[in-house]
Structure 1
């Protein structure tokens, strides 16, 4: 397999004005608790997770000589910084609804503190490439498949499309830095196994917490319909398995899955109205 980041790909942070609903609907995804909290649980992870991604890439920025990649790193940092700030607002809305977001965030912060203290910068960067791949394949699916957000509150759907667009634009930045400063396929695979376990665990625990607060944790219909939405015959996650496994190939590169047409399509939605900012 071959693949490289498209030459001249511009990675530019945007500042769209979302104006999240106040108060945010508890079940903003078409009145469905499971679908809403699946996305909500991921949102809880983003502020601290994206600061970790920024730090892991920034650590190696001075070792990069390629002027195009240096500019893309700048865009990556700017985009991830804006994602973090927007999801802080999102998570504050969840707090206002009575969910214990502080409890959920503490577990992630403890683990990230351990990672920063005891794991090498190369492994931290490998972990960033892994989670960036997870978010990139979900972002791709969200942008190409309207079922992901069918029936959702329009403002919330727009926020997730914006996040998916920018995750797609910068999906190879951490990977390209990693290839220049380390490049070990073994370390990258190890990081993906670990990241998959923790990302799945954290998302599941967030989902469980919110369903418990709603009094729906033991409602079998909620779980039946939710798991069917994720993993059923037409489930939204089933088509991602092949793309996920490609990360383990020695010759993997994120842009082997060329979805630049989606970038161009959704840029038209956001670039006409969004402000921009530097990093």
Structure 2
């Protein structure tokens, strides 16, 4: 297993070459409100979150001596900036459907503002490493397991595959920057515990808000089927536990989860279209 980022890996931003559906189907994930709003709730977090990630990595750019990592940092910043812009468009579609996206964004914006103003840059970078690992293991599962997007609107599924591909490509960039500039494992693990808590709370907040607006918050079948999809015998989140726990191991590196074959597979989908355009 590799303990470093593959040397030949190139990281470059792509524009999503398909517009989001307008209007967006209210329950675009196969008519299932729970599945739809789980993805929607995560999407709302991305614009502010990814701007935070960019700034946390950019702060240490001058300390990086490895030219390959410098190049990968440029690709990381470009990809995360593109994700932020695309998910802002996504949020506009959700506003058009009547969801209070400003309400959902305010808490995250206040917390990130506090972190950037009062907490050390090293801790901010550690938090970025933690959330990048959460997104990386979800991206890996989404690209491997059809259960994640089965029955979804094709345009929405394409957006999530595009995002998952690029999250996989750059999954170790923040980690490599942290390793070269700090390497404080205690700080990294603390950041993961905190990030896991806040990611769960923020996602649940978005999910419950949207279900409430749909009049489905107290529909027990929605929650029964949704929680079974997440945590049941073959639940999509249940399968993430081992990959999540690996982060806490001594000597862990994100590319020990070697899924470069997924990068190559999905590059064929997205890069071939870009070259043909």
TM bin (shorter chain): over 0.9
CA distance in 2, matches of 1:6, 1:101: 38
Hey, which bits of structure 1, 4+ residues long, moved more than 2 A? none
Between 1 and 2, higher relative CO (CA 8 Å, sep ≥ 6) is seen in 1
CA distance in 2, matches of 1:159, 1:19: 9
Measured after TM superposition, the shift of residue 219 of structure 1 is 0.1
CA distance in 1, matches of 2:17, 2:51: 22
State the partner residue of 1:51.
51
State the partner residue of 2:73.
73
CA distance in 2, matches of 1:252, 1:234: 26
CA distance in 1, matches of 2:26, 2:180: 44
Measured after TM superposition, the shift of residue 16 of structure 1 is 2.1
Measured after TM superposition, the shift of residue 272 of structure 1 is 1.1
Unaligned runs of 5+ in 1: none
Alignment pair present for 1:63 and 2:29 = no
State the partner residue of 1:112.
112
State the partner residue of 2:201.
201
Measured after TM superposition, the shift of residue 249 of structure 1 is 1.1
Cα displacement string for residues 118-169 of structure 1 (whole angstroms, at most 9, x for unaligned residues): 1100000000000000000000000000110000000000000000000000
CA distance in 1, matches of 2:260, 2:53: 23
CA distance in 1, matches of 2:144, 2:2: 23
State the partner residue of 1:162.
162
CA distance in 1, matches of 2:151, 2:182: 44
Unaligned runs of 5+ in 2: none
Alignment pair present for 1:37 and 2:37 = yes
Measured after TM superposition, the shift of residue 274 of structure 1 is 2.8
State the partner residue of 1:176.
176
State the partner residue of 2:91.
91
Cα displacement string for residues 54-81 of structure 1 (whole angstroms, at most 9, x for unaligned residues): 0000000011010000000000000000
Alignment pair present for 1:260 and 2:260 = yes
Maintained 8 Å contact 2:2/2:258? no
Q: Which secondary structure state, in structure 1, belongs to the residue aligned with residue 62 of structure 2?
A: helix
State the partner residue of 1:270.
270
State the partner residue of 2:215.
215
How high is the TM-score relative to the length of structure 2?
Answer: 0.98
Maintained 8 Å contact 1:8/1:68? no
Maintained 8 Å contact 1:168/1:263? yes
Maintained 8 Å contact 1:2/1:251? no
- RMSD of aligned residue pairs (Cα, Å): 0.8
Measured after TM superposition, the shift of residue 2 of structure 1 is 5.4
State the partner residue of 1:189.
189
Cα displacement string for residues 207-258 of structure 1 (whole angstroms, at most 9, x for unaligned residues): 0000000000000000000000000001011111000001011211000010
CA distance in 2, matches of 1:208, 1:101: 13
CA distance in 2, matches of 1:265, 1:201: 33
CA distance in 2, matches of 1:83, 1:139: 14
Measured after TM superposition, the shift of residue 180 of structure 1 is 0.5
Maintained 8 Å contact 1:16/1:273? no
CA distance in 1, matches of 2:104, 2:87: 14
CA distance in 2, matches of 1:38, 1:62: 38
CA distance in 2, matches of 1:3, 1:142: 23
